[in-house]
Structure 1
Amino acid sequence: MRSVRNGSNGGFRRRRAERRAVGGRMQAKPRASSRATARMSQTQHQSRFGALLLFGAITTSALGGGAAPAQLAYLKASNTDALDLFGSSVGVSGDTAVVGAYMEDSSATGVNGNDADDSASNSGAAYVFVRKGGAWTQQAYLKASNAQANDWFGYAVAISGDTIVVGARLEDGSATGVNGDETSNGASSSGAAYVFVRDGDAWTQQAYLKASNTGAVDVFGSSVAIDGDTIVVGAYGEDSSSPGVNGDQSSNGALSSGAAYVFVREGGAWSQQAYLKASNPGAGDDVGWSVAVSGDTVVVGAIKEDSSATGVNGDQGSDGTTDSGAAYVFVRNGGEWSQQAYLKPSNTGATDWFGYSVGVSGDSVVAGSPREDSSAVGVNGDQANDGALDSGAAYVFVRDGDAWTQQAYLKSSNSEIGDTFGSTASIDGDALVVGANYEDGGATGVNGNEGDNGALDAGAAYAFVRDGNSWGQLAYLKASNTGAGDWFGFSVAVVGGTVIVGASHESSGATGVDGNQADDSLLHAGATYVFDLGIATAIPGDLNDDGVVDGDDLGTLLGQWGDCAECSADFNDDGVVDGNDLGALLGNWS
């Protein structure tokens, strides 16, 4: 269910020649003077916002919650430093969060090493935080086992239960497969991914993952996702022209067509299970820019795919709409993978970059399109009015049997030119969060004044909830210390009502949890914010709120079997955990 690039990271990344530039991942935006033409009056914002609050109250009640959304914590690295970009990637599972800082400079390796030795510029790091009794603390400081300068470890992160995967897209190893030679730096920017596992409170590295066809500048690890014993890694710079699943990996005839790789764990050992390519691979399509996984379903984004098709399973050969973007759905049956759907938005447009972010939870998919240009606001508005350049959009698709359809077209409640809504997205059950890291609001906290455009590129995130088949915006999320250029919303993740939002360019010099947010002494150090949406867990049976219903949840249910008032596994609140509750759990098995 983790979406990371996801899901995982927001912002726009430059092409191949600029990949090692510090902070060089953003495309040019419209000038402030141009953007001002799209501003709405404060009266319009307040009127629309009142309607959203009403929807939020109704929907929260329908989901079994009732508490108002609120910020819970402000997270900083234990070794905060300028330009580390802490919060450039985030993931959450139950009471554990992981945060990436791919520009961190320590030369430490492994877990909990010396974080003060800044001798490996931009080697990158990841930080693990845990919640106990409502309080967050840092549990671990993760580095690659072969940490080197400019590897960008932490560019992508994902977590499921006691397992974390971290991408290092500029790692240079020439090894292939799992746990190969980590010292062989013969394939520049080929990329790698690292798997860490927790036993009690202790984390260790379990695996070093490389592609089966490692190649220079493939940037394997640009996106990562995990659900249980399945990991997906994107490599949007991979060059094979082979279509479909497990094709010819050596046919390097389509530069940067891109690929994704599926790894599975059995008895603690990881192996590659599948090599995924688009059914219509094309040079420069960037398949693998984003990835997500939920159970036996994988979604892969390709932001530079050029088809002019709309909807589901349209004409893939009509390359008449440059860089419109696409997403591909793959499913697993008995260990074998196949492509199930080819997703395009209902309003395909050139350079919209559909698939920039993807997320999947059960039978629902969200795909972001940060350069979509409609001036619509809210849900299912007018898609044809391209009056707000790069305002951005997100699209929800649902599956019935094997058939996918678009369920919703989402815009922010204060959609404006250049906000890039959809640069990040994450979904869990009936809740989803979308980031817009170029949004300009000067508000702080939750559901503040959307008409205050006093903080250029401060960024925002938007929480949506589904009631039946209808989506509505529940919350407009801002940092508690909103600042211009902070890029709040650069990364987002949601599980069980807990939302993590990264602001990679926040500049506080604070360290740890809930430090001094007003100390802007370290430029672009980065920060991460934890919110509670005030809703009940959206997936019946997910007793540990890790976004997946599995053996852990079944064990909890069986342990509560019988008369058990106020038990978490008593889904129908009849005072007994029995076959009815077991059926509800098994009906949502991932």
Structure 2
Amino acid sequence: MKINYLIALGIFILHSSFFISASAQGTAFTYQGRLNDGVNPAGGIYDLRFTIHDAPSAGTQQGSALTNAATSISNGLFTVVLDFGHQFPGADRWLEIAVRTNGGGAFVQLTPRQHLTATPYAIQSVNAASAIAVSGSVSAAQLTGTLSSNNIGAGSITSIMLAAGAVTTMALADGAVTAGKVATVSNSIVLRFINPGPLGSDYFGYAVAALGNDRVIIGAVGDDTGGFDSGAAYLFDANGSLLKTFVNPTPSGFDNFGVSVAAVGTDRVLIGASGQDGDAGAAYLFTTNGTLVRTFINPNADSGDRFGRSVAALDGGRVIIGAFRDDNSSFDANGRAYLFNTNGSLLMTFNNPAPADIAEFGSAVTGVGDDRVLISGGNGLNRVFLFTTNGTVQMTFTNRGSALAGLGTGRVVIGSYIDNTGAPNAGAVSLYHTNGTLLTTITNPTPALADYFGWSLAVAGDKVLVGAYQDDTGATDAGSVYLFNTNGILLATIPNPAPTTDDNFGYAVALLGTDKMVVGAFGKDLGGVPDAGAAYLFRGQTFTDGLVADAVRAGSITATSLEDGAVTFEKLDPSVGTWTKGNTGIFHVGDNVGIGTTSPQVPLHIASDPQAVMVLQDTGANATQSGYIGFWNSTPTETAWVGFGTPGSPDFSIVNARAGGNIVLSAFGGNVGIARAPTANALEVAGNASKTVAGSWLANSDARIKTEVRTVTGALEKLAQVRLVEFHYTENYRAQHPGIEDRRYLNVVAQEFQKVFPEHVQSSGEKLSGGGDAILQVDTYPLTIYSAAAIQELNQKLEAGSQKTEVRSQKSEVR
């Protein structure tokens, strides 16, 4: 009979020697279990054998085995009393069970062994009547054992009764948590920030920035205080109370004060006014009580520069300000950015590393830690540049950076609103390490034409908030916002709470901590006032993305705990470090994978050669005969291979076995060298080339491809100017080319040949070890053509001489 089992964690009472010395307790305990026969509960009479061990596998048996013969099992359940004597001194013990049908036969060992843990035994104290009653809470550390679910009333244990980390994966039975039991994050709108004096086209909410975890600054770029579109900005707390109104210190029409805002520490705010002074631009630093601390003026002021369109703060009391339309380096709207101290001192000017017309470098800026800045190349460049604060370009990211954020000191987030993943201009966001490694790509969850997902973004902790202000959910360009974690997992979708056309909800976003989100909708119509603008505060429930590694006890999850396919590479944290696949010789150490080696030195190391990117070594029966890379088609049939592919041959081969197929060497614009590095020609060979039959290189020579065709003349005279020489190569040249023998060779001298055939002498690009000009190389093919032409000329002279001889002969006969 085939016996499978499922042992339920039964309730048992374990009496150690410690309890024995304290009272009249014995060493016996009761064990309750459940036995399955196949997939069904067992029933009938079985023999059970029990042994105690000091390890979960192998180890040493403690005491003697106990055999409970003729044990009655009903509906899979059984209860036995076990007494191993004094085998429980306090060290860990595991119970091993073996079973057979009653009446003989071999015992079948059940796995795994069951870990026995101590549980207090209830006894009656002689002083129980005078004992003090328990009141107040009892700490979890004072409780052990198992509490049956039958003893817990529905709803009696709530989340506030569970300590952080109390419920881990090892505490959950397989299948206990289903999708229906996992609460989703609900993001409710908490409040709408009120424009204090809404007028048409105020564009309140055009820019937003968090000031700590409890305040937000909001720009109203079209506010008319002091002049048409002069602009304003407002500081609110997280309860919606207006704390301060910031007005343009030198207002005039179209100043666009409030076009950009940023927090500088916890007590100052920076506000851009890119339209100031004929669009030359300016920026202003205020304290949170409204005092103007500093005015930043465009260092290279010119009309249309738009200095102040982007602003950001760095740690250490510095600010960076972009002038994305600055004309410089002979390019229109090439762009610049400037780093200032908050005392107004200009610390660094950042110029576009890839200048171009309408590059708009500086359209977005942000700080990365206290010593680096990230600057967008704007709409004209698919590049974002990471600079040190001394102006050195440290990394270039090939993204269209509409929004930027630094995540700590080692990561950056770049929004690319015109990314075409899913739909044209649907948008995407990329998370990079500052060394250029792409860590995560966050794509638009509902991509559609011109959603502009990634136009705005904000980061806090491990959360990334992304705006898609032209999303059409609810109305055309109503806008939507999405919350992700830094692994790219969508945590929440925040739709426009009252969508109408052209609201532009999500044009600007900010995170106040990790649970409060501010979203600007500058195109929102309020009370019949068009484009007055609005901003909203949403609060997300505090949540954990999933059970983290810290919540899982070491060794609690083994291979037998996981179903096939339950763990995939996508679910493995890359920081897990070293792993191996048993019985396969595959090892992962750091960023490298080894096959047949436990210490791979390169990304893929097969066998052993740390100098190569990939090593193939045949260690089988044909190790001395073959070892190659094969290429298969979908049949599969091997159609090409590279390597030592012919048994017994030392030759390295490149073979294309596909009928009618060719072998093509192409360097895509470069040169190909055989036994040398090519420097000047499409194909360069060191040494001789041979063919199996006679013949020459073929060249296209069709009459249809030629013009100005003339017969070669003066060949004899031309050839007479060429000196044909025999010579030895110098020791210096032979030292650079060890394959050249020290013998006599035939050729011409390039400098002399150049005087006769200048078009057929060129530089080789190679120099002698002592330096000097490049070595010249010659194409002696003209000698072939001129030699043939010279023969024709000689033939013509011979024929002319023959005709003269015949004439003389005829004259002689006449005489």
TM-score when normalising by structure 1: 0.59
Is 1:190 the counterpart of 2:190? The answer is no
Is 1:80 the counterpart of 2:215? The answer is no
Is 1:330 the counterpart of 2:387? The answer is yes
What SS does the aligned partner of 1:221 have? strand
What SS does the aligned partner of 1:501 have? strand
Counterpart of 1:365 in structure 2: which amino acid?
A: V
Kept in 2, the 8 Å contact 1:365–1:427? The answer is: no
Equivalent in 475, 479, 495 of residue 459 of structure 1: 479
Residue 359 of structure 1 corresponds to which residue in structure 2?
405
Counterpart of 1:213 in structure 2: which amino acid?
A: N
In 1, the alpha carbon distance for the partners of 2:374 and 2:540 equals: 25
Cα 1:404–1:221 shift into 2, 3 Å? same
Kept in 2, the 8 Å contact 1:420–1:439? The answer is: yes
Equivalent in 276, 280, 284 of residue 171 of structure 1: 276
Equivalent in 339, 344, 348 of residue 274 of structure 1: 348
Equivalent in 315, 318, 331 of residue 230 of structure 1: 318
Cα 1:537–1:286 shift into 2, 3 Å? farther
Residue 11 of structure 1 corresponds to which residue in structure 2?
none
Residue 143 of structure 1 corresponds to which residue in structure 2?
247
RMSD over aligned Cα atoms:
2.3
Deviation at 1:254, TM superposition (A): 1.7
Deviation at 1:536, TM superposition (A): 7.7
Kept in 1, the 8 Å contact 2:185–2:491? The answer is: no
Residue 486 of structure 1 corresponds to which residue in structure 2?
503
Counterpart of 1:464 in structure 2: which amino acid?
A: F
Is 1:157 the counterpart of 2:261? The answer is yes
In 2, the alpha carbon distance for the partners of 1:281 and 1:87 equals: 33
Residue 390 of structure 1 corresponds to which residue in structure 2?
425
Cα 1:278–1:534 shift into 2, 3 Å? farther
Equivalent in 90, 104, 107 of residue 208 of structure 2: 90
Gaps of 5+ in 1: 1-53, 61-65, 108-119, 173-187, 242-252, 307-324, 346-353, 376-387, 443-454, 510-520, 539-590
Residue 440 of structure 1 corresponds to which residue in structure 2?
472
Is 1:503 the counterpart of 2:512? The answer is no
Cα 1:293–1:537 shift into 2, 3 Å? farther
Cα 1:536–1:240 shift into 2, 3 Å? farther
Residue 398 of structure 2 corresponds to which residue in structure 1?
344
What SS does the aligned partner of 1:87 have? strand
Is 1:208 the counterpart of 2:295? The answer is yes
Residue 532 of structure 1 corresponds to which residue in structure 2?
539
Counterpart of 1:480 in structure 2: which amino acid?
A: P
Counterpart of 1:95 in structure 2: which amino acid?
A: D
Residue 336 of structure 2 corresponds to which residue in structure 1?
259
Deviations 1:180-213 (A, max 9, x none): xxxxxxxx21000011113xxx221111101221
Residue 291 of structure 1 corresponds to which residue in structure 2?
365
Which protein has the bigger helix share? Answer: 2
Question: Between the two proteins, what is the percent identity of the paired residues?
Answer: 27
Is 1:123 the counterpart of 2:230? The answer is yes
Residue 490 of structure 2 corresponds to which residue in structure 1?
473
In 2, the alpha carbon distance for the partners of 1:462 and 1:394 equals: 11
Deviations 1:490-534 (A, max 9, x none): 11112411221100111113xxxxxxxxxxx11110000112233
Kept in 2, the 8 Å contact 1:195–1:206? The answer is: yes
Kept in 1, the 8 Å contact 2:185–2:543? The answer is: no
Cα 1:484–1:357 shift into 2, 3 Å? same
Counterpart of 1:141 in structure 2: which amino acid?
A: T
Aligned length: 362
Residue 103 of structure 1 corresponds to which residue in structure 2?
222
TM-score when normalising by structure 2: 0.43
In 1, the alpha carbon distance for the partners of 2:385 and 2:512 equals: 23
In 1, the alpha carbon distance for the partners of 2:539 and 2:346 equals: 36
Deviation at 1:285, TM superposition (A): 0.7
In 2, the alpha carbon distance for the partners of 1:398 and 1:434 equals: 19
Counterpart of 1:525 in structure 2: which amino acid?
A: A
Deviation at 1:146, TM superposition (A): 0.4
Kept in 2, the 8 Å contact 1:76–1:86? The answer is: no
Counterpart of 2:494 in structure 1: which amino acid?
A: L
Deviation at 1:270, TM superposition (A): 2.9
In 2, the alpha carbon distance for the partners of 1:393 and 1:432 equals: 12
Deviation at 1:142, TM superposition (A): 0.6
What SS does the aligned partner of 1:136 have? coil
Cα 1:428–1:337 shift into 2, 3 Å? farther
Counterpart of 2:419 in structure 1: which amino acid?
A: E
Counterpart of 2:318 in structure 1: which amino acid?
A: T
Counterpart of 2:233 in structure 1: which amino acid?
A: A
Counterpart of 1:262 in structure 2: which amino acid?
A: L
Deviations 1:459-510 (A, max 9, x none): 01111112xxx2211111123222222110111112411221100111113x
